[in-house]
C-alpha cells in the first residue's frame, strides 16, 4: 500500500467492525457516510476525505487525511467555518432523530509529520484534534479540542492497532507507478485466465481501482494515464505475453494479451502462471517442499482409492 | 417427454447401484444455453421440466442435470464415479464460471440433526506449511462404525491436535417414518452418494446441505466492498460499503511457507500472487484462477484478511477456508460473528421430524 494513504485507510478502518483493528468509531455509533465529500463553507469549500456520522447524536465528523507533512493553511481555516447543515446536505445523510446536527473536523497524519502539521495549524491560527498514526497505534493529539462524541469514541486517546490498517484505498492518482504496478499485473493475470485477448486501459483502471469513481474525473484521468505507463513497462518486460498500444486520437490505450497460460496442459499451465509471478531479475527463492514427493507411508501399504 | 417424476423413478438408491450427486456452482444468466455450450448441445436433451435436463456424456455416461437451484446445479448419475467425476472435473477446470462446493469442516461435522454417523474420514496435509517439529503435520483417519465422528472429537480435544482434524467425508444413516431409511455419504467438494429406500429423501437432503452452504457464501458476498459515486457526472464524492473478511488462525503460521503454499497457482488453492512482506505482514494482489478474478489478501502470522470486491464470488472465500482447514488449521474461525455462525452452523430446524437409526 502507498504509505501516503495509511492515514486515510487507518481512519476508515475505525468503522469496520470485525476487522483486526478495533472499530472504535463504529462502537461509538459512527458510520462512514461519504468519501471525498465537498462541503461549501464561508469562504469557499473543502473536500473532506472521509465523513462519518453518528445517528444518535446527529454528529458529523469530517476527516482530513494528510498524506505528507504539508498543511494547506487556507483549507485548514475553511474547515473552521463549516455550517453543519451544509455538511448534512453534502454528505446526503438522513437524520432519523430530530437532533440538531453538529460538525467537527479532525486531521489524521503519520507520526513523523505530526509536528509539521501542528506548526501549520498554529501558523493558520486554527486548532483541530489530530489523530496520529505511529507504530502500532493511533493517538489523539489535542484531546481537549475534540467533541464529547469523539472523546467518548477514542477513550484514553490511544487506539492500539492489532495489525496494519485495511487496504481499502491502496493507491491513488498521486501514487508512484511502481506502487500501482502489482495491481495492474494481477489484473492482467486475471484477464489472461479468462482468455481475454485485450483490455482497454480505462477498463483496467476501473477494475483495479473501483474507488476511482468517487475520486472524481480529474483524478481518474491521471490514474488512467499512470496505468497506461505501467502497461507500457510491463509489455516491455514481457513482450511475448503483452503488447501495449498507446492511446491515439479518441482511442484509449489497449493492452493486448498474446498468449495465456490457459493454452497449456494443466502442469504447464501452473508453471506458466508461476513464471508470471516471478519478477525480472528476482533472486531464486529457497524452494518449498515438493508436494509431489510421495508419501512414504503409501510405499508401505496399498492405498484405498477412497471412492464410494 | 420425460419429467421430474421419471428422474425420481429411474434414479436408483439401491446398495449395488447408488446414485451419485455432484453439486456444481455456476455463474450464468442463461442456464439452458450455458449447459448446451459447456456439455455440447448434441448431448443435452430437454425434459418436460424447465429446470431439468438429461445429458448423454458418452456411451456409458449420462446425467440428470437439475437447475432448480439456479446457482448450485445438481448432476445426478448412476454411472461409475471413475467415469463421471473425471468428465465433470475436466469441464469445471476449464470454465471460469464453474466451481465445486467447498464445504467447511463444520458443515460436515454437523451434517444433520440427530443423524448417526456411520463413517468418517479426515485428511489433514500440512507438511509443506508447518514446521517439522509441529505435532501434527499430516493426519489421516478413516473410521467406520456407529458414532464414528466421536473419535475425531476425542482427538480434537487435545490442544496438540485440535487444528489438524478437519472433516473431509462423512457417511450417515437417516431414517424417517414416511420417507424411509437411507445411507448418505458426502465429501467437502459437494459430492454425494446414496443407497437406501428413498431417492426423494436424498434429493431433499442434498438441497438442505446446499442451502446451508449457500447461506454462508451469500453472507460473504454481503461483505463485498462496493464504491458508489454520489452522481454520474464525474464529480468527486461517494459511498463505500462492505468490509474485509478476517480469518483468525488458532496457531501461528510460518508466513513464508504458508504464502508459498497458498499463492503458488497450484491446486487446490489455485491462487496466483506475489506477496510483499512488510513488518511480518504479507500483502498480496492475488488472482483466483478458478474464477479468473483478482482478490486482495493480507496475511499475518495469526490472521488473514480477504477483500471481496462487489461482484466477487463468496465461493472464493469458502474455498480458501476449506483448503486452509485441510492444509493448515482446521480450528480457524471468522471474526465476523454472523459469518462464524454460518461457518460453524449446525443444520437448522426442519419442517418434518427426522430421526436417526
Q: Which of A181-190, A214-223, B42-51 has the lowest mean pLDDT?
A: A214-223
E runs forming strands in B15-106: 19-26, 44-46, 52-58, 61-66, 72-77, 98-100
Confidence (pLDDT) at B138: 85
Q: Distance (Å, rounded) from C-alpha A71 to C-alpha A49?
A: 14
3-state secondary structure of A111: helix
Taking contacts as CB-CB distances below 8 angstroms, the residues of chain A near B127 are: 289
Interval A153-189: pLDDT, tens: 988 889 999 999 999 999 999 999 999 999 999 999 9
Interval A59-114: pLDDT, tens: 999 999 998 999 999 999 999 999 999 999 999 999 999 999 999 999 999 999 99
Residue B270 has pLDDT above 60, yes or no: yes
Residue A142 has pLDDT above 50, yes or no: yes
Q: Work out the number of other CB atoms within 10 angstroms of the CB of residue A76.
A: 22
The alpha-carbon radius of gyration of chain A (Å, integer) is 25
Q: How does residue A298 score in pLDDT terms, banded at 50, 70 and 90? A: low
Helix (H) or strand (E) holding B220: helix B199-221
Question: CA nearest A285 in B: which residue?
Answer: B260
Confidence (pLDDT) at A278: 75
Verify whether the Cβ–Cβ distance B335 to A277 is below 8 Å: no
Verify whether the Cβ–Cβ distance A273 to B289 is below 8 Å: yes
Q: Measured between CB atoms, which of A35, A285, A295 is closest to B240?
A: A35
- Dihedral sign, Cα of residue A210, residue A214, residue A215, residue A221: positive
Interval B104-139: pLDDT, tens: 999 998 888 878 888 999 999 988 888 777 778 888
Residue B153 has pLDDT above 50, yes or no: yes
Mutate one of A163, A184, A260 to test the B interface: name it (highest B CB count within 10 A): A163
Residue A232 has pLDDT above 70, yes or no: yes
**Distances in Å between the alpha carbon of B321 and those of A291, B117, B166?**
20, 24, 11
Q: Is A294 on the interface with B (CB under 8 A)?
A: no
Confidence (pLDDT) at A297: 47
Q: Work out the number of other CB atoms within 10 angstroms of the CB of residue A162.
A: 12
Verify whether the Cβ–Cβ distance B237 to A186 is below 8 Å: no
Q: Measured between CB atoms, which of A19, A279, A285 is closest to B244?
A: A19
Verify whether the Cβ–Cβ distance B274 to A182 is below 8 Å: yes
Q: Is A207 on the interface with B (CB under 8 A)?
A: yes
Mutate one of B220, B238, B253 to test the A interface: name it (highest A CB count within 10 A): B238
Single out the residue of B93, B151, B130 nearest to residue B267, CA to CA: B93
Q: Is B335 on the interface with A (CB under 8 A)?
A: yes
Confidence (pLDDT) at B187: 94
Q: Which of A299-308, B47-56, B136-145 has the lowest mean pLDDT?
A: A299-308
How many helices (H) and strands (E) chain B has is answered by 9, 20
Confidence (pLDDT) at B146: 78
Single out the residue of B266, B207, B241 nearest to residue B71, CA to CA: B207
Q: Is A3 on the interface with B (CB under 8 A)?
A: no
Q: Is A23 on the interface with B (CB under 8 A)?
A: no
Q: Distance (Å, rounded) from C-alpha B74 to C-alpha B68?
A: 8
Contact yes or no for A201/A231 (Cβ under 8 A) = yes
Contact yes or no for A64/A105 (Cβ under 8 A) = yes
A128 is written with which cell numbers? 483541530
Question: CA nearest A2 in B: which residue?
Answer: B283
Confidence (pLDDT) at B179: 86
Our CA-based measurement puts residue A144 at a distance from the nearest CA of chain B, in whole angstroms, of: 30
Helix (H) or strand (E) holding B124: strand B116-125
Verify whether the Cβ–Cβ distance B243 to A12 is below 8 Å: no
Confidence (pLDDT) at A280: 55
Residue B352 has pLDDT above 70, yes or no: no
Dihedrals phi, psi of A222, to nearest 5 degrees: -65, -40
Mutate one of A10, A14, A18 to test the B interface: name it (highest B CB count within 10 A): A18
Q: Is A215 on the interface with B (CB under 8 A)?
A: yes
Residue whose C-alpha cell reads 500483502 in the numeric block:
B283
Interval A250-260: pLDDT, tens: 889 999 999 99
Interval A103-134: pLDDT, tens: 999 999 999 999 999 999 999 999 999 999 99
Confidence (pLDDT) at B121: 92
Residue A11 has pLDDT above 70, yes or no: yes
Q: Distance (Å, rounded) from C-alpha A173 to C-alpha B235?
A: 15
With a pLDDT cut of 70, the percent of chain B lying above it is 97
Q: Distance (Å, rounded) from C-alpha B222 to C-alpha B336?
A: 12
Taking contacts as CB-CB distances below 8 angstroms, the residues of chain A near B118 are: none
Verify whether the Cβ–Cβ distance A308 to B296 is below 8 Å: no
Our CA-based measurement puts residue A186 at a distance from the nearest CA of chain B, in whole angstroms, of: 6
**Which residues on adjacent β-strands are paired with residue B286?**
B295
Angle ∠(B265,B267,B268) on CA atoms, nearest 5 = 115
Instruction: Concatenate the DSSP letters of all residues of B250-294 into one string.
Output: SS---HHHHHHHHTBS-TTT-EE---EEETTEEEEEEEETTTTEE
Which residues contact residue A253 at a Cβ distance below 8 angstroms, ignoring those fewer than 6 apart?
A200, A201, A224, A228, A231, A244, A245, A246, A247
Interval B187-204: pLDDT, tens: 999 999 999 888 999 999
Taking contacts as CB-CB distances below 8 angstroms, the residues of chain B near A279 are: 274
Dihedrals phi, psi of A106, to nearest 5 degrees: -140, 140
Q: What value of ipTM does the predicted structure carry? A: 0.89
Q: How does residue B176 score in pLDDT terms, banded at 50, 70 and 90? A: confident
Interval A12-52: pLDDT, tens: 999 999 999 999 999 999 999 999 999 998 778 999 999 99
Q: How far is CA B248 from the centre of its chain?
A: 20
Question: CA nearest B258 in A: which residue?
Answer: A288
Question: CA nearest B224 in A: which residue?
Answer: A168
Amino acid at each position: 500500500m502507498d504509505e501516503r494513504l495509511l492515514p486515510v485507510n487507518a481512519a476508515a478502518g475505525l468503522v469496520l467492525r470485525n476487522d483486526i483493528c478495533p472499530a472504535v468509531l463504529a462502537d461509538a455509533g459512527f458510520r462512514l457516510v461519504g468519501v471525498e465529500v465537498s462541503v461549501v463553507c464561508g469562504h469557499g469549500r473543502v473536500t473532506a476525505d472521509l465523513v462519518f456520522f453518528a445517528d444518535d447524536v446527529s454528529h458529523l465528523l469530517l476527516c482530513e487525511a494528510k498524506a505528507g507533512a504539508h498543511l494547506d493553511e487556507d483549507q485548514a481555516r475553511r474547515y473552521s467555518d463549516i455550517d453543519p447543515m451544509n455538511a448534512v446536505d453534502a454528505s446526503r445523510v438522513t437524520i432519523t432523530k430530530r437532533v440538531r446536527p453538529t460538525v467537527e473536523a479532525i486531521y489524521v497524519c503519520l507520526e513523523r509529520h505530526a509536528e509539521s502539521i501542528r506548526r501549520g495549524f498554529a501558523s493558520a491560527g486554527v486548532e483541530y484534534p489530530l489523530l496520529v498514526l505511529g507504530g502500532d497505534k493511533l493517538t489523539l493529539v489535542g484531546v481537549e479540542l475534540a467533541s464529547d462524541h469523539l472523546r467518548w469514541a477514542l477513550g484514553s486517546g490511544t487506539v492500539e492497532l492489532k495489525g496494519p490498517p485495511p487496504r481499502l484505498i491502496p493507491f491513488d492518482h498521486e501514487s508512484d507507478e511502481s506502487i500501482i504496478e502489482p495491481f495492474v499485473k494481477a489484473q492482467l493475470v486475471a484477464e489472461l485466465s479468462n482468455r481475454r485477448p485485450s483490455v482497454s486501459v480505462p477498463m483496467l483502471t476501473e477494475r483495479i481501482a473501483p474507488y476511482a469513481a468517487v475520486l472524481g474525473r480529474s483524478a481518474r484521468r491521471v490514474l488512467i494515464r499512470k496505468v497506461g505507463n505501467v502497461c507500457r513497462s510491463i509489455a516491455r518486460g514481457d513482450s511475448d505475453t503483452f503488447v501495449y498500444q498507446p492511446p491515439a486520437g479518441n482511442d484509449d490505450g489497449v493492452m493486448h494479451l498474446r498468449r495465456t497460460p490457459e493454452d497449456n496442459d494443466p502442469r504447464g499451465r501452473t508453471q506458466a502462471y508461476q513464471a508470471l509471478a516471478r519478477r525480472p531479475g528476482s533472486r531464486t527463492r529457497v524452494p518449498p517442499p515438493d508436494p509431489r514427493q510421495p508419501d512414504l507411508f503409501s510405499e508401505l501399504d496399498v492405498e484405498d482409492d477412497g471412492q464410494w | 417427454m420425460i419429467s421430474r417424476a421419471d428422474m425420481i423413478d429411474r434414479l436408483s438408491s439401491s446398495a449395488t447401484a447408488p446414485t451419485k450427486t455432484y453439486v456444481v456452482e455456476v455463474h450464468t444468466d442463461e442456464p439452458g444455453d450455458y449447459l448446451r455450450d459447456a456439455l455440447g448441445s448434441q448431448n443435452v436433451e430437454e425434459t418436460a421440466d424447465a429446470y431439468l435436463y438429461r445429458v448423454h456424456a458418452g456411451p456409458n455416461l449420462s446425467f440428470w442435470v437439475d437447475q432448480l437451484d439456479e446457482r448450485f446445479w445438481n448432476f445426478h448419475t448412476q454411472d461409475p464415479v471413475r467415469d463421471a467425476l473425471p468428465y465433470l472435473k475436466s469441464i469445471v477446470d476449464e470454465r471460469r464460471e464453474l466451481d465445486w462446493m467447498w464445504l467447511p469442516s463444520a458443515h460436515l461435522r454437523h451434517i444433520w440433526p440427530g443423524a448417526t454417523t456411520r463413517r468418517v474420514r479426515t485428511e489433514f496435509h500440512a507438511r509443506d506449511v508447518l514446521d517439522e517439529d509441529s505435532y501434527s503435520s499430516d493426519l489421516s483417519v478413516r473410521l467406520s462404525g456407529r458414532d464414528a465422528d466421536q473419535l475425531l472429537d476425542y482427538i480434537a480435544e487435545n490442544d496438540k491436535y485440535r487444528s489438524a482434524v478437519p472433516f473431509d467425508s462423512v457417511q450417515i444413516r437417516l431414517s424417517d417414518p414416511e420417507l424411509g431409511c437411507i445411507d448418505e455419504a458426502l465429501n467437502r467438494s459437494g459430492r454425494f452418494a446414496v443407497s437406501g429406500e428413498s431417492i426423494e429423501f436424498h434429493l431433499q437432503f442434498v438441497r438442505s446441505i446446499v442451502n446451508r452452504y449457500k447461506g454462508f457464501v451469500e453472507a460473504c458476498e454481503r461483505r463485498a466492498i462496493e464504491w458508489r459515486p454520489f452522481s454520474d457526472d464525474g464529480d468527486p464524492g461517494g459511498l463505500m460499503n462492505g468490509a474485509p473478511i478476517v480469518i483468525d488462525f488458532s496457531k501461528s503460521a510460518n508466513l513464508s511457507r504458508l504464502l508459498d503454499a497458498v499463492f503458488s497457482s497450484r491446486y487446490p488453492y489455485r491462487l496466483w500472487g506475489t506477496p510483499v512482506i512488510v513488518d511480518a505482514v504479507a500483502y498480496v494482489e492475488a488472482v483466483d484462477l478458478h474464477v479468473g478474478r483478482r482478490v486482495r489478501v493480507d496475511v499475518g502470522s495469526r490472521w488473514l484478511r480477504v477483500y471481496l470486491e462487489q461482484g466477487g464470488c463468496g465461493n472464493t472465500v469458502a474455498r480458501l477456508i476449506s483448503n486452509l482447514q485441510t492444509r493448515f488449521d482446521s480450528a480457524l474461525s471468522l471474526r465476523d460473528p454472523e459469518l462464524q455462525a454460518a461457518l460453524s452452523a449446525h443444520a437448522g430446524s426442519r419442517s418434518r421430524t427426522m430421526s436417526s437409526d
